[in-house]
Amino acid sequence: MADTIRLVEYFYVMAPNKPGEGARALATLREAGVNLLAFSGFPNGRRAQLDFVPDDTAAFKQAAKRAKWKVVGPKRGFLVAGDDRMGAVAELLDRLASKKINVTAVDAVSVGGKYGALLWVASKDVTRAAALIGATRASAPIPEPAIS
């Protein structure tokens, strides 16, 4: 399978950095029927940033509003999927670096012979990066099941 690179919208919420906050947020979305393409959470001092890449942004916004979350976004990033191979993410980062596009963050994982990554660049570089790496719009199908 060739790599699939999608331009996606993501949102984030700041939450207390304590046990159960991520589980609570994910349960809220599950109960609202919101499917996530990706989720990432990390500490930010005494708070935690929870990043959500929803399959349906309108459904996510509606669920977040009902939960009274203070949501930041939409922002844009890239969702990458493909057959795992040595250096897959390095190849992608090299292509961006060759055109002086700085990657502000990346999360990648390999499971069952496939790999996936979330990749962020500065908002001023999103259009250039999308063209360079061959990203499609978020409505394009994804090769693997989404997470929820």
What are the structural domain ranges in the chain?
Answer: 9-74, 76-133
pTM confidence score:
0.86
H-assigned helices in 57-113: 57-66, 88-98
* Per-residue confidence (pLDDT) for residue 146, from 0 to 100: 46
C-alpha distances (whole Å) from 76 to each of 1, 9, 84 are 25, 5, 24
Q: DSSP string of 12-32?
A: EEEEESSTTHHHHHHHHHHHT
Interior/surface letters 24-58, b for 16+ CB within 10 angstroms, e for the rest: ebbeebeeeebebbbbbbeeeeeebbbbbbbbebe
Question: Hey, what CATH topology would domain 76-133 get?
Answer: Alpha-Beta Plaits (3.30.70)
pLDDT tens per residue across span 29-55:
999 999 999 999 999 999 999 999 999
User: How is residue 80 written in tokens?
Assistant: 């990458």
pLDDT above 90 coverage of the chain, percent: 90
> Which amino acid is residue 124, in one-letter code?
K
pLDDT tens per residue across span 13-23:
999 999 999 99
pLDDT surpassing 60 at residue 139: no
User: Which residues does 112 contact at the CB level (< 8 Å), separation at least 6?
Assistant: none
* Per-residue confidence (pLDDT) for residue 38, from 0 to 100: 96
C-alpha distances (whole Å) from 29 to each of 5, 86, 144 are 25, 35, 20
- pLDDT range class, residue 1, cuts 50, 70, 90: low
Q: Does domain 9-74 bear CATH number 3.30.2130.10? A: yes
pLDDT tens per residue across span 83-103:
999 999 999 999 999 999 999
